[in-house]
Amino acid sequence: MELALTMALTPFLPELAVSSLIILLVLLYIAYWRSKYQSLFPIDWPLVGLLPSLVANLHNLHDYVTDVLAASGQSFTAHGPVATNMRLFITCDPDNVRHIFTSNHENYPKGHEFAEIFDIMAGAFFTIDGDPCRRQRAKTQSILGDPRLVASMASNCYDKVRNGLLPFLTCMASTRTPIEMQDLATRLMFDVTAMAVFGVDPGCLSTDMPSMHVSTAMDTIMEVGLFRHTVPASCWKAMRRLDIGPERKLAAAHTVLHGFVSEMMEKVRTATHHHGHGDDAEEKQAPSSMDILSSYINDPDYNADGDLLHSMLITYMVAGRDTVGTTLPWFFYNLAMNPHVVFGIREELAPIASRKAATSTSNGDGTTVMFSPEDTKPLVYLQAALFETLRLYPPGSIERKTVVADDVMPSGHEVRAGDAVLISLYSMGRMENLWGNDCREYRPERWLSVSNHGSSKLRYVPSHKFLAFNSGPRMCLGKHIAVMQLKTIAAAVVWNLDVEVLEGQTVEPKLSCLLQMKNRVMAKVKKRAI
């Protein structure tokens, strides 16, 4: 049998040898190509689409997507498993961004899929589109534009830094006790935001470091949100029905957040009631009338105990806590890695500190200097350092839109009605053709230009290129407040303390819609000798 088979194949041996050699060379080439570029090109597999590529790269998803976008000209299309009819267009091209967010804004709403992903905020301006969104944004703009509220928020932030953050850090410095950067920033901004929203200080930033279960629940919303973004809706909805996996954790988070809102509202009602009856003891604890809740509590469009008011208050808490609370750890990490930036910020602060020297606000040692929002408003290098942090580490790493009608992007890519559009803010800050060959370096100077008088001024960068505060009709309404808070906190810490990140740690983003730090990044602080 074997002899007969050999004799039958003998005439074809040269051809078989050549064919085998060609196949071997092709396989070797493919293996080499895959090993060299597998991180750059996702495989849109038959039947299962992009899902295996995403799963295989979950450990470094943001950088993986960045490499893919850089290799594919800043945009690519992909599919989910065939049964889901899931189609994705992923981009960080500024021309596409301007088209999506401004030029053809009405064709790219957030869509009902986005609203389902963040159902904890159902009905609030963060998740809705069209006229309802415009009406809510108009009300929000009037609230956040009220000079009395802005002044109250500025005062609360200033006081929390002076009486809470700096004493805590000074205590840690005296004992050389390491602090977890992300946890500290989150606690600080949870308190500051709750004071703005409810007029009540939860006291998360205190020496006994109370449980942060409410803040942890907010983190869960963003972590499971990314999971919902990247898997077919039918998958996570099935898990929700079965109450398993991430959906079980999310359901518990929803309960915690709604409970927190109810508790805060009850505190406000109780304090207001006692305040109205003139109880001197309670009067001292009565909440400030200048808070966000007071603008909604008597509005007939927002039932005082209804789901919409809860959604709105949770939205404000998330927006206020996350923008600043996520940026601060990356800011101080980058400063620790770049001492020359610390020097530049202190050089800018020095003339103000000198003027304050005789009458500086003190925490008991006569050396602590605080800087008011009026002090920090004109400081361009400090703002450049903060914007550089936001460029590389935007709090919201992705934006999602839905296509209403078939369209062609400026990049030439066609999108069809029903497609999901994902915009990677993280990747946009790392594109060489947008920011130069040093795009991955932390360099605040890229934000500065020289004015006609020889002084530095902030360089204008359009919002479709720097998307940290959104762009177009949905531009962040609280940008001015976030910048004020960032400057107040940053100036106080940089001037009064040295921050040192402990060596031997892996510093990377958490797998979440929110670009928080992963792995409990630890730092030490020491009182600066001024």
Residues 455-513: pLDDT tens digits? 889 999 999 999 999 999 999 999 999 999 999 999 999 999 999 999 999 999 998 99
The residue extents of the domains of the chain are: 42-527
Class of domain 42-527: mainly alpha
Q: pLDDT, tens digit, for every residue of 108-138?
A: 999 999 999 999 999 999 999 999 999 999 9
pLDDT for residue 22: 53
Identify the burial level of 297 via C-beta atoms within 10 angstroms of its C-beta, where 0-12 means exposed, 13-18 middle and 19 or more buried: middle
Local confidence band at 282 (pLDDT 50, 70, 90 cut-offs):
very low
In angstroms, how far is CA 346 from the centroid of its own chain? Answer: 27
Neighbours of 125 (CB within 10 A): 23
- Identify the bridge partners of residue 401 per DSSP, sorted by sequence position: 421
Residues, the chain = 530
Q: Is the pLDDT of residue 55 over 90?
A: no
pLDDT > 90 in the chain, percent: 69
pLDDT > 70 in the chain, percent: 81
pLDDT, average across residues 332-342: 97
* Numbered residues of the known binding site for heme: 476
List C-alpha distances in Å: 164 to 158, 265, 477.
10, 24, 27
Q: Is the pLDDT of residue 382 over 60?
A: yes
- Cα(420)–Cα(423) distance, integer angstroms: 10
Q: Is the pLDDT of residue 3 over 70?
A: no
Give Rg (Cα) of the chain: 27
The dihedral formed by the CA atoms of 146, 309, 155 and 366, expressed in degrees to the nearest 10: -170
Q: Is the pLDDT of residue 61 over 80?
A: yes
pLDDT for residue 366: 56
- Worst-scoring range by mean pLDDT, 285-294, 344-353, 439-448? 285-294
pLDDT for residue 358: 59
- Cα(236)–Cα(467) distance, integer angstroms: 29
H-run or E-run covering 345:
helix 339-356
156 or 35, higher pLDDT? 156
Cβ atoms of 143 and 315 closer than 8 Å:
no
pLDDT for residue 451: 74
pLDDT for residue 274: 56
Q: Report the predicted TM-score, pTM, of the whole model to 2 decimal places.
A: 0.86
pLDDT for residue 185: 96
Q: pLDDT, tens digit, for every residue of 402-432?
A: 999 999 999 999 999 999 999 999 999 999 9
pLDDT for residue 359: 63
DSSP state letters, 53-106: HHHHTGGGHHHHHHHHHHHTTTEEEEE--GGGT-EEEEE--HHHHHIIIIITGG
* Numbered residues of the known binding site: 476
pLDDT, average across residues 286-303: 76
- Cα(100)–Cα(411) distance, integer angstroms: 12
Local confidence band at 83 (pLDDT 50, 70, 90 cut-offs):
low
DSSP state letters, 432-486: HHHH-TTTTS--GGGGEEE-TTS-EEEPP--TTTS-TT--GGG--TTHHHHHHHH
